[in-house]
Structure 1
Amino acid sequence: MLRALLAAFGLVELLFPDKLVAVMTRLAYEDGGEMTAKPWVVTAARVEGAVFLLVALFGLRGRCGRCGGDDGEAGEDE
């Protein structure tokens, strides 16, 4: 469930960073409609969205095998 939410937010942030920054600014500040973000903020939001999406899709795969519920150590296959 958490991975799905992270992937959805990352996809929205990756595809529509300017709209998301505008919405978050209006939510965070009382005069959010009058504020303008610096040009690098949209790029940073897009990069953050890509990172969220990659973590949601691939980032937790390596850890899932190690945190399984068995009592064995992580290198017993050898």
Structure 2
Amino acid sequence: MALRLLLAFLGLLEVAFPKPLVDFWMNLATEDDDVELRPWVYTAARIEGVLILLYVLWRRRDGE
């Protein structure tokens, strides 16, 4: 239950605020601050957030 709640929260963050979330993880993953991301990366993060939310809702509906 707690894991699904955490996943739902992460999915909501990705859908609502993809740029700060992606930028945060990219700053952790890279040593150089000169990384420029392409605009589609933020769209992909939003799609990932929607898929996470759908997964959480689907698992909830199944009663697991």
- TM-score normalised by length of structure 1: 0.72
Which runs of 5 or more residues in structure 1 are unaligned?
65-78
Q: Do structure 1's residue 21 and structure 2's residue 40 form an aligned pair?
A: no
Which runs of 5 or more residues in structure 2 are unaligned?
none
Q: Secondary structure at the match of 2:45?
A: helix
Q: What letter corresponds to residue 47 of structure 2 in structure 1?
A: V
Choose 1 or 2 for highest CA Rg.
1
- TM-score normalised by length of structure 2: 0.86
Q: Which has the higher contact order (CA 8 A, sep 6+)?
A: 2
**Which residues of 2 match residues 60-71 of structure 1 at below 5 A?**
60=59, 61-62=61-62, 64=64
